Structure 1
Amino acid sequence: MTPNMRIIFAGTPEFAEQHLAELIAHSEQQGWDTVAVYTQPDRPAGRGKKLQPSAVKTLALEHNIPVEQPESLRTAKAQQQLSNYQADVMVVVAYGLILPQAVLDIPRFGCLNVHGSLLPRWRGAAPIQRAIEAGDERSGVTIMQMNQGLDTGDILYTESCPIEPQETSASLYAKLAKLGPKALVTVLADLESYRATAKPQDDQQANYAHKLSKAEAEIDWHQPAAKIERQLRAFTPWPGLWFSCPTQPDKPVKVHKLRVVDQPATAKPGTVVGQSKSGLAVATAEGCVNIEELQWPGKAKQPAEVFLNGYGSHFPAGLPLSSGNHGN
């Protein structure tokens, strides 16, 4: 047991808020004291662009926990302020600020991070999405002792879950948002023991999970059909996938649902190979995809049958669709 700990929690979005909620729920039983919450400064949001507090800040204030919102933790003033809390450990979950070594060294037990992958498989900003895109069979959360590297610290604890065939980044995010808080509490309840048995990562097994970009949202038909299908799930809800209408190139058509067709592609990648009530069939580098739900600009998403009744003349068989390069 590691009782009577003074804890600083650092996080910003809803994913982090769920971890803070679990921490608060167990604090009285465990004898923990969350002495401060660090979160990103309030940001403009909504139509009125009014400053909005983070989900973590809102929860902290509801429980009368002091909130700090520095723009940086690199200044001597910010580091002294953090040191004044005399924390035993700092828990970091999707905080959004880089922690310099001086900060990592302040708490007695250092800083712990909850990371949304089975390290060292995916390090970086988008481990959930990249796991789906790559076709991984499992994902999970890792409780890691932070160091100055990018998600390179020693592993204290992992909890895994399967990636289902229809998994999207949204559904996997929800799974990990349940696994992570429980894993965190497990480690904090016996922190000294977990630190004593921490395991270094194998750098040779690591991959970098690049941050998602809107540039990736244009479908590259020169990818295999299976890769395009995984990208759609990985990029749901953001940034999604789209392609240009060939007869009106300024019209990006969003794809909301597609499946891989079990047939070889006999046409060049990006060529429309057929229309039916079930969807718009398009050739890829390997196999075909059948697009089953689409969205015309400015319109609601529609099943393929309805969409093609209205816009099918723009996509005759044999017509090539646009194809982004994405640097490939």
Structure 2
Amino acid sequence: MRVVFAGTPEFARAALERLHASGVAIPLVLSQPDRPAGRGMKLQASPVKCFAVDHGIPVAQPRSLRLDGKYPDDALAARAALEAARPDLMVVAAYGLILPQWVLQLPRLGCLNIHASLLPRWRGAAPIHRALEAGDPETGITIMQMDAGLDTGDMLLVERLPIAADDTTASLHDKLAALGARLIVEAIELAACGGLHPVAQPAGGVTYAHKIEKNEAAIDWAQPAEVIGRRVRAFDPFPGASTLISGEPVKVWRCQVEPDAAGARPGTVLAADGSGIVVACGSGALRLMQLQRAGGKRLAVADFLRGFPVAAGAMLQAGQ
């Protein structure tokens, strides 16, 4: 089996590493172009590209794969590289570019996608974040045969994963990346012997995981404590749930739901000590246990309060 791999972030790198270790022939890797990052805004290669270069795998980084799009030269060069690679199969994981029909049809066995949800729930860009935000009890990995739609293809392999009460997007990402890496190796082994059996996605239960935007980070204290708590976990590590304390933006990284706040105005600090800053919400209260000032580090609440005193009765406002 000759497998072309298309992916960009750390989630995809885990799958590429597992495929490489399994002995699958990988004649070509596709990844997004290098992007400026860090304080110096220097061009930085993606985790997938870094792995491929370190292991001597050829890499193509087209800005687009659309032959009739904005970058036709990139698409033509990518097409030549893909045809030369003679893939039996393409594996796609968080690549970030839309695959036009010519790409979907080029590999003999088509394109398989590693999707971090239990399809058809949470099709789209941010399935891990949205599952946490919605309070889903479980998620999982779906290995899907790609078609022209947005995560609409037939399901080939599905494995469920419970969401723990303390899971964040960061921790759930790592669990799902490892699960996806294992399942895609299994899928390729089955594909080699004709053992994959496509199952159409159910028509009901479709939800869309829209891309996370920075403006979603602001905490609305009028919401129930449970809802805010889920958003804190969903937005870790990006964009980080934020509030204003004495007019200064502060990110909240860890919290727990407390009993009802006895009618206190949402945003009111009910107590503040080494065990947490307790804030009234629309219903219930939230104990803030790990916080971060702009330009600072994440701190346990006791350390945070030593440098930024907060008194009972203070009012917190939506962050920026």
Structure-2-length-normalised TM-score: 0.90
Structure 1 residues 224, 193: CA separation in 2 closer, same or farther (over 3 Å shift)? farther
Letter in 1 for 2:156: L
In structure 1, C-alpha distance between the alignment counterparts of 2:264 and 2:272, rounded to whole Å:
15
> Are residues 1:46 and 2:38 paired?
yes
How much has 1:223 moved relative to structure 2? 1.4
What's the CA shift for 1:54?
2.0
Match of 2:293 in 1: 296
Query: Offset at 1:306?
Result: 4.2
1:6 match = 2
Distance 1:135 1:289 in 2: 16
Partner of 2:16: 20
Flag the 1:265–1:88 CA change in 2: closer, same or farther, 3 A: farther
Please tell me whether residue 272 in structure 1 is matched to residue 264 in structure 2. Answer: no
Q: How much does 1:299 deviate?
A: 4.0
Q: Deviations over 1:256-284 (max 9, x none)?
A: 22110023441222222333442222111
CA contact (8 A) 1:9 1:90 kept: yes
**Residue in structure 2 matching 1:35, options 4, 27, 45:** 27
Output the CA distance in 2 between the equivalents of 1:105 and 1:301: 47
Is contact 2:240–2:251 with CA below 8 Å preserved after alignment?
A: yes
SS at match of 1:104: helix
In structure 1, what is the equivalent of residue 72 of structure 2? none
Within a 5 Å distance, the mapping from 1:115-194 to structure 2 comes to 115-191=115-191, 193-194=194-195
Quick check: 1:124–1:210 contact (8 Å CA) kept in 2? yes
C-alpha distance in 1 between matches for 2:26 and 2:276: 54
Structure 1 unaligned residues grouped into runs of 5+? none
> Could you list the runs of 5+ residues in structure 2 that have no partner in the other structure?
68-74
Q: Structure 1 residues 256 and 61 mapped into 2: Cα distance closer, same or farther (>3 Å)?
A: closer
- State the secondary structure of the residue aligned to 1:167: coil
**C-alpha distance in 2, partners of 1:199/1:303?**
47
**In 2, Cα distance between equivalents of 1:101 and 1:23:** 25
Amino acid at match of 2:318: S
Q: Measure the CA separation in 1 of the matches of 2:216 and 2:202.
A: 29
Deviation at 1:113, TM superposition (A): 0.4
Deviation of 1:171 after TM superposition, in Å, equals 0.8
Measured after TM superposition, the shift of residue 217 of structure 1 is 1.0
Q: Report the Cα distance in structure 1 between the residues aligned to 2:308 and 2:54, rounded to whole angstroms.
A: 51
Give the Cα separation in 2 of the matches to 1:221 and 1:271. 9
Q: After TM superposition, give the deviation of residue 201 of structure 1 in Å.
A: 0.9
Report the more deviating stretch, 258-267 or 180-189: 258-267
CA deviation string 1:165-190 (max 9, x = no partner) = 11111111111121111100101001
TM-score by length of 1: 0.88
Aligned length: 311
Question: Structure 1 residues 15-24 or 58-67, which shifts more?
Answer: 58-67
SS in 2 for 1:190: helix
Q: Which secondary structure does the structure 1 equivalent of 2:32 belong to?
A: coil
Q: Cα distance 1:60–1:307, how it changes in 2: closer, same or farther (>3 A)?
A: closer
User: 1:259 maps to which residue?
Assistant: 256
- Tell me whether 1:74 sits opposite 2:66 in the alignment: yes
RMSD, aligned α-carbons? 2.1
Question: Aligned partners of 2:55, 2:277: CA distance in 1, in Å?
Answer: 53
Return the offset for 1:96: 1.2
Taking structure 1 as reference, are residues 274 and 85 closer, same or farther at Cα in structure 2, changes over 3 Å only? same
Q: Is the 8 A contact 1:156 1:194 kept in 2?
A: no
Question: Which whole-Å CA distance do the structure 1 matches of 2:156 and 2:111 have between them?
Answer: 12
Q: CA deviation at 1:294?
A: 2.5
In 1, the alpha carbon distance for the partners of 2:51 and 2:224 equals: 44
Distance 1:47 1:200, change over 3 A: same
- Aligned counterpart, 1:217: 217
AA aligned to 2:315 is: P
